[in-house]
């Protein structure tokens, strides 16, 4: 009985996140990795980590259960188990902040001459541009787009959004439907995409959109590569209409070594590193919540009992 | 009468800010530069720009006056003139946001590998550090320090402050008096100074403080050069205890060409460019408010009638 596991990691097969969670949890609780349908001793289980569909059958069998960490953002399958004594935490609060750091970091680095000043060897007291009072358009107004919008707004940037139907979203001065992408792009200083890959998001950033940006605009793509017409963007950089393009995602990844983006002036290529991978995200959210769990503090983004989200 | 000036720029002698304000204002209102004691026709004056002591005698002589832009932050000498029909705006809202861009921009550029990735020519998908959950200490908890603290907090950074008496300030988890600088520095990941130069701020960032920072800490000085013991900082960079130092201010400016900071690995020298000069600040605040004034919108940071600030 004293050997009964206290923390279950439920996974069909071992993945980087299972190893990471195991090494984080093992010093604190007796921990095992189990497959979704394994026969297991559940009498001592306090914590379960896994995908909601795999956990729905296990949760009712754990009388001592106090915390369920989902490895998915969507927790519909298990949200109804949340109670005063059982906290359920989704995979949230990681992608938005990480992508916000990326977008704000690159924008400030370019506007405030960080990249060039980093290698200066003489005094250069020239006035630097600021991001305050600039106009940013964000394609994609979900969790990630909203996190970026709120951060940009706190720096005095005015933020416009593009989404499927033009619905209003908090943090955005106005939102446009994707059918109005040209009106959306008009006079923007910064164009940021965090769009997922769908048939509707193909080629949204093309010559027509780029021409409507303010001269000297900065383009950042941290969504998926399909949104950008690469040849149009390179032409706009070479013509000097777009000053800089920061690209984290591509139609083919890794970006091939002979892709012209590597050598286009003003193009900055990063390696799909704007946000964590799902494996990294699971470890990060679990680690943050584990610290709080051990300290007896409320967990981050826990589901409200009875509310289902 | 139709030639009577509508906008007065009051200045003892021409300075860069008077030229800048003149060229901003001239397209919109008949504008003149006058010395503080000049005889002037004031019947048509709507707007006055100048230093509060120079303006106190002019304001009562302008029956049409609608807006006074002070070139100082402190407006005690004229605040009592504010009314429902006369807006008075101090020189505010520029230094804090500008210095916040500088601090956050450099911090993100270093942590998120912007500087190194800017010149990458091959795919490098390594995990990047984040600023979320890091610990920042800010020396100086006035307008500028508070603006930086609030921005850092919005990125999930925990912020501690150092000020003369350890008084609590909003945005800071805790504040320490300058006599407790070693306790303040304990386990910080980021140390930022925005201190002014006084006898009390000499050499606060020395070997003892640096040794208490977390290994790999980043130091940013955007206050005044006297706060840093340069030899101690260089030793700490060379030993690898401090990973990076971003320095905007120095005991001697411009920083001499043979100063060892130019060639110390991890030291980034900027040229007193973190915030605008006072001349630039006047033009920037005036421009922002002029746009609003012409559009009939409320001005930024206007004094509340009867409140005196």
Closest by CA to B81, choosing from B304, B231, B281, is B304
Q: Are residues B67 and B138 in the same domain?
A: no
- The partner residue sitting opposite A105, judged by closest CB among B109, B126, B269, is B109
Task: Flag if B114 and A105 touch (Cβ within 8 Å).
Answer: yes
Closest by CA to B200, choosing from B175, B222, B179, B169, is B179
Q: How confident is the model at residue B307 (pLDDT cuts 50, 70, 90)?
A: low
Task: Flag if B123 and A254 touch (Cβ within 8 Å).
Answer: yes
- The predicted pLDDT at position B11 comes to 93
- The predicted pLDDT at position B303 comes to 84
Task: Flag if A125 and B97 touch (Cβ within 8 Å).
Answer: no
Q: Are residues A214 and A76 in the same domain?
A: no
Task: Flag if B121 and A97 touch (Cβ within 8 Å).
Answer: no
Residue A308 lies in a domain: no
User: Rounded to whole angstroms, how far apart are CA atoms B219 and B206?
Assistant: 12
pLDDT of A309 higher than 70? no
- The predicted pLDDT at position A6 comes to 95
- The predicted pLDDT at position A16 comes to 86
Q: How confident is the model at residue A3 (pLDDT cuts 50, 70, 90)?
A: confident
Domain tally, chain B: 2
Task: Flag if A118 and B268 touch (Cβ within 8 Å).
Answer: yes
- The predicted pLDDT at position B78 comes to 94
- Pick the catalytic residue from B28, B80, B112, B272: B272
Chains A and B form CB pairs within 8 A to the count of 132
User: Rounded to whole angstroms, how far apart are CA atoms B102 and B222?
Assistant: 9
- The predicted pLDDT at position A12 comes to 85
- The predicted pLDDT at position B264 comes to 97
Is residue A105 a contact partner of residue B114, using CB atoms and an 8 Å limit?
yes
pLDDT of A235 higher than 60? yes
Mean pLDDT of chain B: 94
Residue B301 lies in a domain: no
Q: Are residues B44 and B118 in the same domain?
A: no
Say which range, A46-50, A163-167, A181-185, B128-132, has the weakest mean pLDDT: B128-132
Q: Are residues A72 and A101 in the same domain?
A: no
Q: Are residues A66 and A107 in the same domain?
A: no
Q: Are residues A108 and A190 in the same domain?
A: yes
| Active-site residue, B224 included | yes
CATH classification of the domain holding A33 = 3.40.50.720
A130 Cβ contact partners less than 8 Å away, ≥ 6 residues apart:
A111, A112, B97, B98, B101
Residue B222 lies in a domain: yes
Residue B1 lies in a domain: no
Q: What is the mean predicted confidence (pLDDT) over A195-220?
A: 96
Which of helix, strand or coil describes residue A280?
Answer: helix
Say which range, A73-87, B104-118, B157-171, B181-195, has the weakest mean pLDDT: A73-87
- Total residue count of chain A as it appears in this document: 309
Q: How close A262 gets to chain B, by Cα (Å)?
A: 6
Task: Flag if B104 and A100 touch (Cβ within 8 Å).
Answer: no
Q: Are residues A67 and A149 in the same domain?
A: no
Q: How close A290 gets to chain B, by Cα (Å)?
A: 14
Q: What is the pLDDT of residues B256-269, one digit of tens each?
A: 999 999 999 999 99
Task: Flag if A276 and B127 touch (Cβ within 8 Å).
Answer: yes
Mean pLDDT of chain A: 94
Q: How close A63 gets to chain B, by Cα (Å)?
A: 33
Q: What is the mean predicted confidence (pLDDT) over A46-55?
A: 95
B26 Cβ contact partners less than 8 Å away, ≥ 6 residues apart:
none
Q: How confident is the model at residue A179 (pLDDT cuts 50, 70, 90)?
A: very high
Residues of A with catalytic roles: 224, 272
Residue A299 lies in a domain: no
Report the residue of A101, A243, A288 to disrupt the B interface, i.e. the one with the largest count of B CBs within 10 Å: A101
CA distances from A92 to A48, A69, A297, B135 (A): 17, 11, 18, 22
Q: How close A127 gets to chain B, by Cα (Å)?
A: 7
pLDDT of A32 higher than 90? yes
Q: How confident is the model at residue B309 (pLDDT cuts 50, 70, 90)?
A: very low
Judging contacts by C-beta atoms under 8 Å, the chain B residues touching residue A101 are: 108, 111-112, 130-132, 155
- The partner residue sitting opposite B101, judged by closest CB among A130, A263, A268, is A130
Q: What is the pLDDT of residues B15-63, one digit of tens each?
A: 889 999 999 999 999 999 999 989 899 999 999 999 999 999 999 999 9
Task: Flag if A117 and B270 touch (Cβ within 8 Å).
Answer: yes
Query: Domain residues for A196?
Result: 96-269
- The partner residue sitting opposite A114, judged by closest CB among B114, B150, B288, is B114
Q: Are residues B243 and B258 in the same domain?
A: yes
Judging contacts by C-beta atoms under 8 Å, the chain B residues touching residue A92 are: none
User: Rounded to whole angstroms, how far apart are CA atoms A251 and A254?
Assistant: 9
Q: Are residues B87 and B103 in the same domain?
A: no
| Active-site residue, B120 included | no
Q: What is the mean predicted confidence (pLDDT) over B89-94?
A: 89
With residue B107 as reference, give the H or E element that holds it. helix B95-111
> What is the radius of gyration, based on Cα positions, of chain B?
23
- The predicted pLDDT at position B74 comes to 82
- The partner residue sitting opposite A105, judged by closest CB among B100, B112, B268, is B112
Judging contacts by C-beta atoms under 8 Å, the chain B residues touching residue A286 are: none
Judging contacts by C-beta atoms under 8 Å, the chain A residues touching residue B288 are: 133
Residue A191 lies in a domain: yes
Task: Flag if A115 and B112 touch (Cβ within 8 Å).
Answer: no
Residue B156 lies in a domain: yes
Q: How close B257 gets to chain A, by Cα (Å)?
A: 7
pLDDT of B240 higher than 80? yes
Residue A300 lies in a domain: no
Q: Are residues A252 and A192 in the same domain?
A: yes
- The predicted pLDDT at position B193 comes to 98
Q: What is the pLDDT of residues A115-154, one digit of tens each?
A: 999 999 999 998 788 999 999 999 999 989 999 999 999 9
Q: Are residues A232 and A289 in the same domain?
A: no
Q: Are residues A134 and A240 in the same domain?
A: yes
Report the residue of A111, A115, A120, A123 to disrupt the B interface, i.e. the one with the largest count of B CBs within 10 Å: A123
């Amino acid at each position: 009985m004293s050997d009964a596991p206290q923390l279950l990691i439920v996974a069909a097969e071992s993945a980087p996140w299972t190893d990471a969670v195991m090494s984080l949890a093992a010093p604190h609780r007796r921990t095992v990795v189990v497959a979704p349908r394994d026969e297991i001793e559940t009498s001592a289980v306090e914590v379960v980590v896994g995908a909601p569909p795999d956990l729905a059958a296990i949760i009712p069998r754990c009388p001592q259960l106090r915390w369920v960490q989902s490895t998915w953002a969507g927790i519909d399958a298990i949200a109804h188990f949340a109670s005063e004594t059982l906290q359920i935490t989704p995979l949230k609060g990681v992608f938005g902040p990480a992508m916000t750091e990326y977008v704000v970091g690159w924008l400030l680095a370019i506007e405030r001459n960080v990249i060039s000043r980093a290698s200066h060897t003489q005094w250069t007291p020239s006035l630097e541009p600021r991001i305050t009072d600039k106009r940013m358009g964000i394609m994609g107004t979900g969790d990630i787009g909203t996190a970026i919008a709120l951060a940009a707004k706190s720096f005095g940037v005015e933020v416009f959004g593009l989404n499927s139907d033009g619905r209003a979203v908090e943090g955005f001065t106005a939102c446009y439907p994707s059918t109005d992408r040209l009106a959306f792009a008009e006079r923007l200083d910064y164009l940021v995409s965090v769009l997922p890959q769908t048939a509707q998001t193909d080629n949204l950033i093309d010559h027509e959109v780029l021409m409507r940006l303010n001269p000297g605009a900065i383009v950042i793509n941290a969504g998926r590569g399909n949104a950008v017409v690469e040849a149009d963007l390179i032409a706009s950089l070479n013509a000097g209409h777009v000053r800089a393009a920061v690209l984290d995602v591509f139609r083919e990844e890794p970006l091939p070594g002979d892709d012209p983006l590597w050598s286009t002036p003003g193009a900055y290529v990063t390696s799909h590193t704007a946000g964590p991978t799902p494996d990294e995200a699971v470890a990060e959210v679990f680690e943050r919540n584990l610290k709080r769990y051990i300290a007896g503090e409320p967990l981050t983004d826990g589901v409200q009992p009875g509310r289902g989200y």
